[in-house]
Structure 1
Amino acid sequence: MKYANLEWRDGQPYNPEFDDVYFSIDNGIEETEHVFIQHNQLLQRFTQIGTPHFVITETGFGSGLNFLVTVKHWLELSEPSCTLHFYSVENSPFSLQDLIQAHNSWPELAELAEELQQHYCAASYGFHSFDLFNGRVKLVLMIGDVETMLPRMQAKVDAWFLDGFAPGRNPDMWSETVFSHIKRLSKKGTTFSTYTAAGFVRRGLIEVGFDVEKVSGTGNKRHMITGRLNSENTLAYQSPQPWYENKLSESVNKQVTIIGAGLAGISSAWALVKRGFKVEIIEKGGQAGAQASGNPQGMLMPRLSLQDSAEAEFYISAYFYALRCLQLLDIEQNCWKQTGGIQLACSERFKKQIENFPQDSLLAQVLDAEEASEVSGLKIENKAHYFPRAACVYPKKILQIMIDEMGDALTITYNTDVKSIHYENQHWSLVNKKGEVVNQAANLILANAWQVKLFEQLDHLNLQPARGQISLYKANQQSRKLKLPLSFEGYLMPESDNQHVSGASFVVDDSETDIRTEEFQANLSDINLWFKDLFVEDDINGGRASVRAVTSDRVPVVGRVADKCRLVSDYADLHKGKPVNKYPLSKMLPGLYVNTGHGARGFTSAFLSSELLAAMICEESLPVSNRVSYALHSSRFLIRSLKKRRV
């Protein structure tokens, strides 16, 4: 990913690659009002929305001017219960510094611009989701070229802002592929507008079904075009992986029950309550965060990869989304501290990342040994990766803040163990070991860690328990110098309450929570490899063992749950390599969802996973790309087995 290589000319950002400016310094706002607001009839449409959501997609985010002007009208005109979903593609995003400089041109938008600046991040390719303006606006920046990003969108768009550079300078923005996906993502009544009046753009939009009109332009543009899709969209969309998609239902029931009161369950409830749901959580233990979510301290750091993959996109997007959620929950940072974090070169994989991963002021920077030592407070002998926005988190405090914020919209029933679930009369029944129905729900989310696979409907998951034991060390004069979390074979947290948290062991297929001396010793040995004699055995001041849920591919399981028998039947011959258009969309179990498998990185992955789940339940446009939602899908293990003829 590369930021835009801008030149500033008399206060205007100029892009030498396309030989064009991003906006007019004299009348940029007026141009946006004329081209995009007026010719998509947004002032009228914002006051007459018949649905809870309005979706705009823009090709070319640039300085964010179109977004800010649109948000201004949205907040003034729309009902507070409605949400604006604003998607924008940008191949060469502004750096934060350039974004702020551009926004200085519009003092009348300063308050709106400040909120965008506080959350803005475009540090990697892929989808980046932002909840802004008290949840009334959801911005998704799609960092990458438009021909890659639009095919990965899962949405139905109400209005298009086609705002790439002039077609002659940026032809890829106006290709047949782009036009076909504009049609795919549109519906009857969808509108578009664009500065250009180029003939091939007009013809391309007409060919995919839009009624197009040439109208007066603005500034030095004599003409522009606008249009509407006036017929039903009969384009036969072919999903690239139909086994992960399904037809949407016609209504959304706002009754939800969640099994599990760990981070996955609580964050799922939080995402739904913000959408007006009433949620009940059923928890086996006697408190929230009974397992790994209840550790006294943890770290929030990104998981990097040198590969362009769905998994890499998910973890970086999730990392920044989690940080934004923590800011919304606790701006005073009482339950978390944005200290930064350091990854030591503890394996060949991390050494390669340090040498080859692109540096970015928001995501990852390479420090030499001296710099790493100064930043961390402890002596470090080698180069390391520094994550400037990483954080210390206090899990139980975070869970409690979310619980308190949800108030009466959340009910938690503790000490209730659900042994089976079954569906009848449009509801899921939750049954305990005595055969008693303890709860019924139209929508059910399974968020009870590795025990999810004990339910018949999900017994095919490659999901395992993984025991982890942390160690607590009494702080000493040297250890108190540590300023931020360190990650190596294990991890070490800075002092809190006169002690340090370190860990954690990782024992797969072990669900016991007894305290083990050998795991204390292993944790201490990991520290001594890097910081000899920082602690001795007598410094161990207790510990805690808990069980995580891990998947075979180290990616969470999030989303709808397929009918297992139908899945095997419908896709039994996947190994033959038939064209995907020969297969139907997947048959999903009604109202059943899953959110688990977060492993040792729950605070990185849980918040975005829960937002994705809530969007699915509410049948909203999704905050992630389709390749990410496919990578998280619960059917992926069975699909892989079918492709390899192992079922």
Structure 2
Amino acid sequence: MSTSPWFALPYPKPTKHVIVSGAGLAGCTTAWALAQRGVKVTVLDAASAPAQGGSGNPQGALYAKLSVTPTKQSELHICGSHYSLNLLRHLDPEQTFWSECDVMQIATSSAELKRQTNLLLHNAYPADVVGGANQSALTDLIQQPVTADGLIMKLAGWVSPAEFCCALLEHPNIEWHGNSRLVSLQQDNGEWQLQVESGQQYRSGTVILCHADATKQLEQTQHLPLKPIRGQVSTLPASVTDKHLQQVVCGEGYISPPYQDQYCFGATFELHEQSTCVTASAHQTNLDNLAKILPELAEDFVKSKHLLTGRVSFRCSTPDYLPVVGPAPDISATLQRFAPLRKDRNWQFPETEPAHLPGLYVNCGHGSKGLITTPLCGEYLASLICNEPLPLAKPLLDALNPCRFLIKDLIRKRI
């Protein structure tokens, strides 16, 4: 008997067509995984081009966030790093829009240095995932001064997320529709009827919601505690310095090797700021964070700060920093069936099945780590929908399940 029956997964009916709402990394990787299985996929997005939201920065760093001792998050990140790199090698073997390279994570504070030291001492991760290096060794590797010791992340690199998304959408089984903001979602005769802002309607028995924090605006997924976090990246022509990086270097922010003759660095982390305008103060934050890891490069950048350009987007985050991936629960039925948890969190439900909304799935909340989590999560959903063996262990799938927030709120008597 399962001790968590609310996390039991459905057995979907065979499907030949799926609608994916959202054309960022989550939507495009999910659509591609389904298309590879011969499923016809219609991708809808509010913007006129793919990857115009959080997935639209010029470059993103691809590396795992590791805790001192392994957690569900670090397990997902390591598995996702392997999967993402293999997918990118398959999709773009010439590395035209990405690069496989080490990521140097510099300890910019005493607390971070202690964390990194403890991580290495615990020896919980293999050497082909992470290693350590002192300040002198990192300076030699990066070929310019760094400010402290740090970690060397091996399953890593950088990617142009927008070009990644466009490459995924080129699959012959995928049909893409821009300017198609989803405004309503209703069940009708065993199918989902979707209406977009233009008035156009679409129908399918299977729908996957991948449009970041906008997912909670729909009635069926309003329970999801998704929050947008503002981030601004800064860009400068590579010609402003004679120091050229070959690796990604991270501290409180990150900077990638130049791509298309341009450096991209950042990003800010502004919890309560909702402005979409590029600001001088955010540029200064990015320059300050860069100076904490690569002071000489930052000095060159400051001399050319009048050339700074940038981009603002919003990460979609969750309270537990894990993405939300899996079948969408029927909110009212779930609360009714598992109401005894309000009285006793250990209440047993020997014959109670979970309540899913048939054919509706969610894939969002990937925060700043979408490059290493969305491809694997898209593969998971495609495997689930096509009744194939799943690529992740059940405890990890439970940790991603969209139902988890309803169950936590029941136990804490919040609902």
> Is the pair's TM-score, using the shorter chain for normalization, greater than 0.5?
yes
Quick one: distance in 2 between partners of 1:354 and 1:421? Answer: 50
1:374 matches 2:140: yes
**Within-5 A mapping of 1:133-152:** none
1:70 aligns to what? none
| 469-478 or 380-389, larger mean C-alpha shift | 469-478
1:412 matches 2:180: no
| 496-505 or 255-264, larger mean C-alpha shift | 496-505
**Displacement, 1:596?**
0.6
Quick one: distance in 2 between partners of 1:356 and 1:259? Answer: 39
1:399 matches 2:165: yes
2:44 aligns to what? 282
Aligned residues: CA RMSD: 1.8
* Of 204, 210, 221, the match for 1:458: 221
1:327 matches 2:89: yes
1:256 matches 2:18: yes
Quick one: distance in 2 between partners of 1:487 and 1:625? Answer: 30
**Displacement, 1:529?**
2.4
1:481 is paired with a residue whose SS is coil
2:69 aligns to what? 307
Kindly tell me: are residues 457 and 510 of structure 1, through their superposed partners in 2, closer, same or farther at Cα, counting changes over 3 Å? farther
1:273 aligns to what? 35
Which letter does structure 1 place at the counterpart of 2:168? M
Cα displacement string for residues 133-172 of structure 1 (whole angstroms, at most 9, x for unaligned residues): xxxxxxxxxxxxxxxxxxxxxxxxxxxxxxxxxxxxxxxx
Quick one: distance in 2 between partners of 1:491 and 1:549? Answer: 19
Cα displacement string for residues 210-229 of structure 1 (whole angstroms, at most 9, x for unaligned residues): xxxxxxxxxxxxxxxxxxxx
Q: Is the 8 A contact 2:135 2:148 kept in 1?
A: yes
Q: Is the 8 A contact 2:147 2:294 kept in 1?
A: no
Q: Is the 8 A contact 1:342 1:384 kept in 2?
A: yes
* Of 306, 322, 327, the match for 1:560: 327
1:599 aligns to what? 367
Cα displacement string for residues 426-449 of structure 1 (whole angstroms, at most 9, x for unaligned residues): 111112347x45211110000011
Quick one: distance in 2 between partners of 1:321 and 1:634? Answer: 22
* Of 565, 570, 575, the match for 2:337: 570
**Displacement, 1:335?**
1.6
1:535 is paired with a residue whose SS is helix
Quick one: distance in 1 between partners of 2:242 and 2:5? Answer: 53
Quick one: distance in 2 between partners of 1:340 and 1:440? Answer: 44
Q: Is the 8 A contact 2:99 2:158 kept in 1?
A: yes
Cα displacement string for residues 208-255 of structure 1 (whole angstroms, at most 9, x for unaligned residues): xxxxxxxxxxxxxxxxxxxxxxxxxxxxxx223111114424x31121
1:497 matches 2:264: no
Quick one: distance in 1 between partners of 2:182 and 2:328? Answer: 18
Which letter does structure 1 place at the counterpart of 2:153? F
Quick one: distance in 2 between partners of 1:439 and 1:554? Answer: 32
**Displacement, 1:578?**
3.4
- The two structures have a TM-score, normalised by structure 1, of 0.60
Q: Is the 8 A contact 2:340 2:347 kept in 1?
A: no
Cα displacement string for residues 590-647 of structure 1 (whole angstroms, at most 9, x for unaligned residues): 0000111111111011111101111111122211011111111111111111111111
Q: Is the 8 A contact 1:418 1:430 kept in 2?
A: yes
1:54 aligns to what? none
State, as a whole percentage, how many aligned pairs show the same letter: 30
Quick one: distance in 1 between partners of 2:384 and 2:377? Answer: 11
Kindly tell me: are residues 509 and 415 of structure 1, through their superposed partners in 2, closer, same or farther at Cα, counting changes over 3 Å? farther
2:4 aligns to what? 241
1:517 aligns to what? 280
**Displacement, 1:333?**
1.3
Quick one: distance in 2 between partners of 1:592 and 1:349? Answer: 41
In terms of Rg, which structure is larger? 1
Kindly tell me: are residues 418 and 341 of structure 1, through their superposed partners in 2, closer, same or farther at Cα, counting changes over 3 Å? same
1:379 is paired with a residue whose SS is coil
Cα displacement string for residues 293-349 of structure 1 (whole angstroms, at most 9, x for unaligned residues): 121111101110123322221111111111111111112211211121111113525
Cα displacement string for residues 492-540 of structure 1 (whole angstroms, at most 9, x for unaligned residues): 1122233210111122354542111111111111112233324206334
Cα displacement string for residues 559-587 of structure 1 (whole angstroms, at most 9, x for unaligned residues): 10010001111111214133434461211
Q: Is the 8 A contact 1:255 1:278 kept in 2?
A: yes
Quick one: distance in 1 between partners of 2:57 and 2:9? Answer: 38
Which letter does structure 2 place at the counterpart of 1:376? I
Aligned length: 406
* Of 187, 194, 199, the match for 1:430: 194
- The two structures have a TM-score, normalised by structure 2, of 0.93
**Within-5 A mapping of 1:223-242:** 238-242=1-5
| 499-508 or 572-581, larger mean C-alpha shift | 572-581
**Within-5 A mapping of 1:57-456:** 238-249=1-12, 251-347=13-109, 348-349=111-112, 351-357=114-120, 358=123, 360-404=126-170, 406-407=171-172, 409-433=173-197, 436=199, 438-456=201-219
* Of 612, 623, 633, the match for 2:391: 623
2:376 aligns to what? 608
1:542 matches 2:306: no
Structure 1 gaps, min length 5: 1-237
Q: Is the 8 A contact 1:247 1:585 kept in 2?
A: no
Kindly tell me: are residues 350 and 399 of structure 1, through their superposed partners in 2, closer, same or farther at Cα, counting changes over 3 Å? farther
Q: Is the 8 A contact 2:240 2:304 kept in 1?
A: no
Cα displacement string for residues 391-439 of structure 1 (whole angstroms, at most 9, x for unaligned residues): 12112221222122x12x11111111111111111111112347x4521
Q: Is the 8 A contact 2:135 2:146 kept in 1?
A: yes
1:640 is paired with a residue whose SS is helix
1:536 is paired with a residue whose SS is helix
Quick one: distance in 2 between partners of 1:344 and 1:241? Answer: 40
Quick one: distance in 2 between partners of 1:398 and 1:345? Answer: 30
Which letter does structure 1 place at the counterpart of 2:414? R
1:634 is paired with a residue whose SS is coil
Quick one: distance in 1 between partners of 2:247 and 2:213? Answer: 31
Which letter does structure 2 place at the counterpart of 1:329? L
1:467 aligns to what? 230
Quick one: distance in 2 between partners of 1:637 and 1:456? Answer: 16
1:496 is paired with a residue whose SS is coil
Q: Is the 8 A contact 2:64 2:74 kept in 1?
A: no
